[in-house]
Structure formats: structure tokens, C-alpha cells
Structure 1
């Protein structure tokens, strides 16, 4: 697509060199000497029998029926899926513990959907492939306010805007690496070196890779500045090596504030992102969020405005860029220049920008999301309604007529109802409708889910 553009703020072009690809590698072995030095004193006294005997086992079973009707695809999707989960955690013995968690995702009856691995591309995507997955397997050392975790593990930072588990999908996203957590007074520090993202599309590869390998770092420090007010600083350096990973490699630095003022909670976030690692596109863009949550009796009202900036990036290797980009819209501006927006390769994306998942990847022209939600109790049920208005950060103009091509993307309305059937059994019904204007197509999704835990 070749187009002219008009931006809310002036874009700038940066030059850069395309990186060279590296072979994916599992690097946990290099971390073992460090871990050994940290836990050696405790390991001498650990009683494996005591740790195993005191371990705890939990079971979970989740069933979901999901339907998708999407303009442009003749067939509607219907997915009847389930996930069985077995979790075992040892008791702590002289500061050491370990845990393992397995998931098995399966099809129960209806398989009229594109799971990204089953080859049924005539249907809309429901990203719940079947198969067995080792969800977690880790050893943990904890001494007072210092914790070290090595292995495959769950990592959720803050709201999961930058790193999370995507727990809504049947195959959870977990991480292979080394995590260090500590707190000093009012300051909490959380750092992880990650050499593999165990993605929701696994356990095997399909239309999307089941794993992203690389050298990545996730850091977040949070301080309780004064009662009811916290400030966090974060840095996420994603250096992803295989498949479409390089096009999603980025370095993001930012800060977040959250303050409580009686019934009102205010959240503000500001981030800057640029290319990193072997990303073939050179770009820099800004993300910010302003959000207010108001509680009035039993009613919660949230209003927010979130912006994903867009930049005129350059590439010395257009073919590699086109091959490695992950979703979104690539807009060719000529002279090897392309529009680029922010990437969130490890975020819990279903939580943000609407439930129909039309903006899992922000379009290259950026995104402005103004949304409001209202939630409250109706008997034992919790009912939530939400509305999103989506617009571009950059307005593309037709090179001949000057008319806008991409400006007002569309809107979405959603409704969810959760109900506790028993102490260990929950029911969820959810439906969302995306009405397209300049971007994507009209889409309706609905879910019925039962979640048992023992």
C-alpha cells in the first residue's frame, strides 16, 4: 500500500542497519553457576523427602464454548474446548522449594474453528490448539525478602500491559529463565532474564510459533511513595530470534503512577519504545494511558484513554521486514520507509483494546482507544458493560484525492456476566461486537465458560 500521511505530531525518520540473524539457543545452563552460588548454603540442609511429603496438589478443569462470526469469512467458527490442569508445589525446606504444572488442552465435540495448528483456515481463528504442555517447572530459593526462581514459570507484571500470562486462553503463556525478586522497605524490585516465551499457540508450531527464543530482559521497580500512591518504573528489552520474533523485538522504557483519592483511583502511564535486537525496522514511538476508576456504592465506573503512537521508520532490508512483521498493517511510504507502531509481544493482549481481539497488534498507523466500562452486582452475578471507540494516530490520505483512508477504525461494545455456581465452580458468559469503519471487518464473538478448581 502506497500512501501519503498526515500525523498529529511530526514524524521523524531514523536510519538503521538490519541485524544479522542468530540461532535460537536455550541459555539456562549459563545461569546455573549463579543460581548454585545463591542457594548452595540452603541446599546443604534441604530435606527432599520433607519437601515432597509436604507438597500440595491442585486440579483444575475449564470448559469453554466460543463462537465467532466475522465478515469476510463465509464460515462461522464454533469451538468446544477444555483444559485440564495438574499443579504440584513442594513444601519449603530450608528456603528451597520446587513446582511443576501440566496442562492438557483438548477438543470436546465441535471443531469448526481455526486453532492456528489444525489447518481449518476457512474458519475464523480461535487460538486454542489442542495438546499437552509443560506449563511450569521451576526451583525456587527464598530467603527473607529475596527470591530467586529458575525454570519455566508464570510472570505477571502490574496490569500485564507488557508481560503476562494470557490466562484467558486454554494454553497459558509462561516463561523460561531466571527471575530475581526483592523488596527494600517500600521498594519492590522484579527482574527476569528470559530465553524463551512459551506462547499460547503451542505446544507445537503452526501459523504462529509456539515458542519465541532470545535474550530478553523484564524489569519493574515499584515504590509506595506515600499511603495510597505508588510509582513504578519499568524496562522491557525483547530480543526475539526465531520466526516472526525479530519484527517484534523492541526496547520499552516507562513509568506508571497509581493514586487513590477516596472513591477514585487514578492511573497514568507513559512509555517510549524503539527497535531492538534484530528488528529490521528502525522506529521510535510513544505509548500513554490515562485512566480513572470510580466506585459509587456497588457500581464501578472506569473511563480511560490509551494511545499507541506511530513513527515513520526505515529499513535497509524491506524483504526481511515484510517476512518478520507480526500482524498489523505495513504501509509503504517509498524509499524503504514504512509506518510502524508499538509492539507488545508478551502482554496479556485480550485484556486490552476490546474482547474481539481486533487490535492484538496495533495497526502501523497507531491507535487511540477511548473506552468506558460500568460494572455492578445483580444478585450474586457480576455484570460488566464496556464500550470502545478506536481511531488512528496517523491519518492516511489518498495520494491522488487527498481523502482519508484510515482515520476512524471502528467501535466495540461488550457485555460479560460472571456467576459463582459453587465455591469451586464459576460460570462466565461474555459477548462482544466490533463494528468496523476504516479498519478490519465487523466481528461478533461470544463465550460460555465453566471453571472448576479443586
Structure 2
């Protein structure tokens, strides 16, 4: 090899070859891109040992029960639930939560008439329609929890909702919810089977910390057994036994005490979802002599989905003297709450039958969800002459934290008598509410 006519030595030639090879290797590496670097390990941000919880609801509610001498009612209330929940430590955690309710507008009675001294603005000479949201400051929940080995154990004041809350619920519609002083155990060790048991000695009712007697709580021995199995394909089966002996509560002379045994089955069938429930109720040692030894309950419905529309046709039946004292009764038999007293058992229940048709769909504007229901009410002989009701609900979910709801209900009574018996709810009732919910 020569450069400009001068011969090069062999050593110089080798050096030039190595230089060319190194340059080509560098260019190839550059074209191949930078090699991936091993990820730098990052530490997850430490979870706080204690986190706050907040649940706020502002509601305006209007009520008009057409009882002679009773005025319409309007309530503007603010409810705050403020709590602290601890981080899980070897399966253990704890929660404490207070509930605070203020009545900004208090032109209403917030407790049943015999307890007028406990209403928000008592005026026995000029009673107003009842809206059961009294001012209160109280402990809503406070419990210690353990989770492990497919089991959750919770001890203390707690929220309990079983199935559709027809028998055991938290009465979540009212501002001051119902909670339980209880020990509860839930287990899912067996595939497709959920077992639940709770023992409670007190159900803390919705009438606030200043209430007394049966308004403040239903006390006694409360055993709640519930088992759900989902291992039969789309079929879900639930069995339950709710044993409620309120021997420490003078509520309607023990009429609310009961032992209830029931089964629930749900299954889809094409575009239709079927629901069926039947329950059998007996009295207890604290039940009054006049209460019969047994009573029956049945609830069936079929929900048909057509595009964005869902139609549900249902029938619910309560035999005479069948009671559900711990239920979320607002979810059943109409939002006018015309039949809550007999269903809870604070007055005698001579029987109730309810045929209903519900239509639900999202509306094509503003992200609103629309729900409407028509009810026909009758006695336990299915003579449908208690009256009828029409309910409408509009709901708008802004995000995971904000929810707005507007609700209207009108119950048209057939008068003070219904065939051969007195009408359970003889007065026309109108209720309307608007609320905004925020939680995190």
C-alpha cells in the first residue's frame, strides 16, 4: 500500500485497518440505538398509617301528607360523616367515624307524632309532615377488623347490609343511617360460597343521639346467618336465618320480635333476569300473645333489558303480621314511605301486596339516569284497593366523588277503608327531594 506514492510499512497498514474496523463498529452501534439501561429501582411512596374519610350530603326535602290539621314540611339538612381508617397491619385495621347533622331549614317534624318533644321544631298545636332527619352528633361507626385466611372479622359499631336490605339494612336514604353494635364474620374459604354471621345486641336507629327508647335503638339478641352459593353457572342461591328477639326494647309490646328463614334465587334467562324470594316467619319468646305463630313473605320479579332500557315487573307480598324491623324500608313499596310503619312493625301489619313496574334508562343529554316506577297496593288477600303510587328518580354522576339525585313520589290513597279492612295508608302523600353527595 502507498499513500501519495510513498510505500507504507506493514505495521502502519495494520494500524489503519484496525482504525477503520473500530469506526465501522461505532457507526453500527450508533445506528442500532442506545442499549436499554436497567431500570433504576424506585421506592413506592409509603402509605400513611391513618387516612381521613369524608362523606357529605346536602339535601332539600319537601313532604305533604294530606292529614287534616297537618301542614306541609320542608327540610334543608347538611350531613357530614368524618372518619379515620388505619393502614392494614398484619391483617388488622380499625375505623372510627362520626356523624353530624344540621337542619338549616327546620319546618318539619323529625320524629313520629307521639314523640313530638324530640322533633326538630316541636309545635304540637301545629304539626307538620314528618321527615325523619333530626339534628344529631354521634358515633356512626367504630370497629376493629381482621382480614386473613379468606375471612373478615369485624367487632364494634358497623354498617350491615344483607342482600337487597329487605330484612337487614342501613336505611341509607335517611341522613342518619342505621348501624349495629355487633361482631360479624364473613368467610370465603370454599369456592363460590360466602358465609356470613353476625351477632348484634343493638340496632342504632335513624332518630339521632337525643332520641330515647325504641326511637333510639332496637336492643336485644340479634343473630344473622346468611350463605350465598354461585357455583351453579349463572344461578345464585342464598339462604338466611335472621333471629331477632328484641326483649330489651318496649316497641309495640314486642311485636317486632321475629325469627325469619328464607331463600333467594336469581338467574339470567336470555335478556331477562329472574328473581325469586320466599321467607317464613315465626314469633319469639318476647312476642305478644296476639301475634300469630307464623307468617309468610314472597317477592318475585323479572327484569327485561332492551337496548339501553330496562323494564322490571314485580310482586311483593307480606302476610298479616309479617314484619321487617331492621330493613331499609324506603327501598320498597314506594318512595312516598306510606307503608313504613306497618312494615317495620311499630304498628300492626294487617298484610300488604305490591305490584310494581319499573322503567330505567340513561337519558341522551347531560349524563342523566332516569328511573320511574308505578305501584299498585293492596292487602294480603290481593284486593288492590289501598291506592297507587308513581315515583321518578333522576341521577347525575359527575365523577367518582360527586353525585346528584332528584326524587319525586306521589301516593294516591283510596281513602280510610280498603274493602273490609282499614287502609294502612289512608292519606294522599307527596314527597320531593334534591341532594348533592360528595365523598372520598
User: What's the TM-score bracket when you normalise by the shorter of the two chains?
Assistant: 0.7 to 0.9
Q: Distance in 2 between matches of 1:120 and 1:55?
A: 45
Superposition pairs of residues 45-60 of structure 1, within 5 angstroms: 53-60=48-55
The normalised TM-score by structure 2 is 0.79
Deviations 1:239-278 (A, max 9, x none): 1122316220000001000111232111100000111131
2:350 equivalent among 342, 348, 365? 365
Contact kept in structure 2, 1:387 and 1:413, CA below 8 Å: yes
2:430 equivalent among 431, 438, 444? 444
1:153 equivalent among 148, 158, 170? 158
1:354 equivalent among 327, 330, 334? 334
Structure 2 counterpart of 1:140: 145
The RMSD of aligned alpha carbons is 1.8
Q: Distance in 2 between matches of 1:350 and 1:372?
A: 17
**Is residue 381 of structure 1 aligned with residue 368 of structure 2?**
yes
**Is residue 303 of structure 1 aligned with residue 313 of structure 2?**
yes
Contact kept in structure 1, 2:377 and 2:384, CA below 8 Å: no
Structure 2 counterpart of 1:279: 287
Bigger relative contact order, structure 1 or 2, given CA contacts below 8 A and separation 6+? Answer: 1
Report how far residue 103 of structure 1 moved. 0.7
Superposition pairs of residues 93-132 of structure 1, within 5 angstroms: 93-108=89-104, 110-116=105-111, 117-118=118-119, 119-121=122-124, 122-132=127-137
Q: Distance in 1 between matches of 2:298 and 2:400?
A: 39
Q: Distance in 2 between matches of 1:204 and 1:279?
A: 27
The normalised TM-score by structure 1 is 0.77
Superposition pairs of residues 19-418 of structure 1, within 5 angstroms: 53-73=48-68, 74-108=70-104, 110-116=105-111, 117-118=118-119, 119-121=122-124, 122-183=127-188, 184-205=190-211, 208-240=214-246, 241-244=248-251, 246-280=254-288, 281-283=290-292, 284-310=294-320, 341-360=321-340, 361-362=342-343, 364-378=349-363, 379=365, 380-394=367-381, 408-418=385-395
- SS of the aligned residue for 2:330 comes to helix
Contact kept in structure 2, 1:113 and 1:120, CA below 8 Å: no
Deviations 1:115-168 (A, max 9, x none): 012234501110001111211000011112111111000111010111011111
1:430 equivalent among 407, 412, 426? 407
Distance 1:407 1:422, change over 3 A: closer
Q: Distance in 1 between matches of 2:409 and 2:381?
A: 26
- SS of the aligned residue for 2:376 comes to strand
Q: Which runs of 5+ in 2 are unaligned?
A: 1-45, 112-117
- In terms of Rg, which structure is larger? 2
Report how far residue 364 of structure 1 moved. 2.8
Contact kept in structure 1, 2:275 and 2:301, CA below 8 Å: yes
- SS of the aligned residue for 2:215 comes to coil
Aligned pair count reads 363
Q: Distance in 1 between matches of 2:123 and 2:303?
A: 41
Contact kept in structure 2, 1:238 and 1:277, CA below 8 Å: no
Distance 1:259 1:422, change over 3 A: closer
Q: Which runs of 5+ in 1 are unaligned?
A: 1-50, 311-340, 396-405
Deviations 1:186-227 (A, max 9, x none): 111010001010111122225852111111101110001322
Structure 1 counterpart of 2:31: none
Report how far residue 407 of structure 1 moved. 5.8
- SS of the aligned residue for 2:128 comes to coil
Q: Distance in 2 between matches of 1:264 and 1:291?
A: 10
Q: Distance in 1 between matches of 2:400 and 2:170?
A: 24
